Structure 1
Amino acid sequence: MKRILVPTDFSEHAEDALKVAAQIAKKNNCEIFLLHMLELPSQMSDAISGGSGIPEVMLFIKKANETFQKIKERPYLNGISVSETVQFERASDGILSFCKKNKIDLIIMGSHGSSGIEEMLIGSNTEKVVRLSDIPVLVIKKDIGKFEARNFVFASDFSKEIKKPFKKMIEFTKIFDANLFLVMICTPNSFKTTLVAEKVMNDFIADFDIQNYSFHIFNDVNIENGILNFSNTINADLIGLCTHGRTGLAHFFNGSISEDLVNHTVKPVITFKI
């Protein structure tokens, strides 16, 4: 993990994410890439692609670059290699394409979350990136000061398809020498006896050489509540999940536990794509 992307709209939430990125970068000798997306009206975008200079566009670029320079002078970025880019594209699409072009290892994003009708109608660029990104996404909800992942909850059904993203998760835990809490949430709709759940988890972990972990089985009314309640009981620093990256009708009907958690918990959440 050497290349971290922090998308920014220059808000406080984006700066909260950047502060965490700086701490991870210093701990792991990483480079930080700052990305600001400008979603312009179609006529402006056409003019840019045709090489025309539009005063309004030039002003947007100038202001963004001026803000970048101020951000790079923040004391918490001292000693870190930081590069900045202004890109003309829809935010979520631009973030994902930037990652592929620049071989990004981790995305760190700020999010204020939402609920109810606002969540349904407006959605969130953070949620879209969480759902669609092929690389891990760490979502920061507030200024958390010193970022720690000593108590790291990883919630899963521990099926075979989880094994590949689980390897990425292990790499992340090693950076922070984390205590890994592996938890299976049992609900009325997905109930397993303790013996069955323990066997599933033991069979899963047998393929990995990891230290500092423990198994937990937690019962709750639904998976999201189970993860949140368990995380609160052990005072988790970070919640880890795998996401299927569903789109379209599949996403509408099945929902997304990862996106719900991004919206409804103040704890940092990191997601790994299956």
Structure 2
Amino acid sequence: MNTIVVPTDLGPETDIALSVAVDLARTYRSTILLLHSVVYPIPMPIYAEATTTTVGRTVEDYQEIEREAKARLEQFAANSQYKNVTIVPTLLTNGQGLIHNVTDAPADLIVMTSEGASGLEEWLVGSNAESIVRFAHCPVLILKKPISHFQPENIVYAIDVDDRLKADRHYPFQMGEHGLRQFLYVLTPTDSRVPEGIRDWVNGYATGKGITEFTCTIRKAKDVPEGIIDYADEVNADLIVLFTHGYKGLRHFLSGSVAEDVLNHTARPVLVMRV
């Protein structure tokens, strides 16, 4: 893992993601890009003759915003707790927005915090984490609260019986001492699959991956995100691993995403991988 991207809005939650990224960077000798995309206010002249004055003032305001943002980025990177790790403060002023810049950045892993979204906000807009997960071309690790030392061992691997999951893939960091071995399938009232078929698929998956010791839990729930979250809470998981198809546009609006629903409503770390 060469490059870890940590997007930030420069808020105090930045250190939640940055500290975990530093843990990983120390292990894998990675470089961290601490990335902030500047948001510029829109100038609003009061009357037509004020346009020239407004433009001049706006340039000065923009420069001050950039200076403050750069100083804040450098302050995060200079934290003594992060010594001996290469952190590159990266200020983006292209006006393309955080999501576009983050998902276009060359990265092996994106680490970020999220407060999630709920209600009307979730339905209409969603969270930044949701959008980044939808468009990212690399794994995304989403954190909700500080973690003193990120070393997940009790990992819930939520699966679907999708043969595309059997493809060889590289996880961005070590998945516990013995790898992934706690599989979860959520069976909803509209799911016609039978438990025997699900277990056969998981057995075949594990065999193909060389996994000899594992558990397969089939949990009944009214919907998949609820089943994943409730099970992870019951076993006190320290990481949930999910896969997403990254649907966009109308297809995403109609079908949604299990991964996005889970990361919006769980308090536990979530690693989202692209199928």
TM-score range, shorter chain: 0.7 to 0.9
Contact 1:149 1:178 in 2 (8 A): no
Query: Who is 1:93 aligned against?
Result: 100
Q: Which moved more, 1:10-19 or 1:252-261?
A: 10-19
Asked whether the equivalents of residues 36 and 91 of structure 2 are also in contact (C-alpha less than 8 Å), the reply is yes
- CA pair 174-212 structure 1, distance change in 2 beyond 3 A: farther
Cα deviation, 1:108-146, whole Å, max 9, x if unaligned, reads 011111210122234222110111111000001111322
Shift of 1:23: 1.1
| Cα distance between partner residues in 2 of 1:213 and 1:83 | 40
Number of the residue aligned with 1:236: 237
RMSD over aligned CA atoms reads: 2.1
Aligned partners of 2:30, 2:213: CA distance in 1, in Å?
A: 25
Bigger radius of gyration, 1 or 2?
Answer: 2
2:91 counterpart letter in structure 1: V
The letter for the 2-side match of 1:119 is: E
Provide, for residues 158-192 of structure 1, a one-character-per-residue CA deviation record: whole Å limited to 9, x for no partner: 3111233x6233x5334765453111111111143
Deviations 1:83-125 (A, max 9, x none): 11111321111111223xxxx1000011111210122234222
Structure 2 runs not aligned, ≥5 long: 44-57
Equivalent residue number for residue 140 of structure 2: 137
Match of 1:146 among 146, 149, 152: 149
Residue type of the alignment partner of 1:221: K
Which of the two has greater helix per residue? Answer: 1
Residue by residue over 1:209-263, the C-alpha shift from the partner in whole angstroms, topping out at 9 and shown as x without a partner, is 3466332222212111111111122211000111111111111110111111111
Percent of pairs with identical residues: 30
Residue correspondence of structure 1 range 77-92 to structure 2 within 5 A: 77-88=82-93, 89-92=96-99
User: How many residue pairs get matched?
Assistant: 259
Q: How does 1:98-177 map to 2 (within 5 A)?
A: 98-99=105-106, 104-164=107-167, 167-169=169-171, 172-174=173-175, 177=178
Partner residue, 2:27: 27
Query: CA separation of 1:142/1:31 partners in 2, compared to 1, >3 Å: closer, same or farther?
Result: same
- In structure 2, the partner of 1:208 is 209
Is the contact between residue 27 and residue 175 of structure 1 (CA under 8 Å) also seen in structure 2?
no
Moved more, 145-154 or 116-125: 116-125
- Please tell me the residue identity of whatever aligns with 1:218: R
Alpha-carbon distance change, 175 to 200 in structure 1, aligned in 2, over 3 angstroms? closer
Whether the 8 Å contact between 1:105 and 1:136 is mirrored in structure 2 is: yes
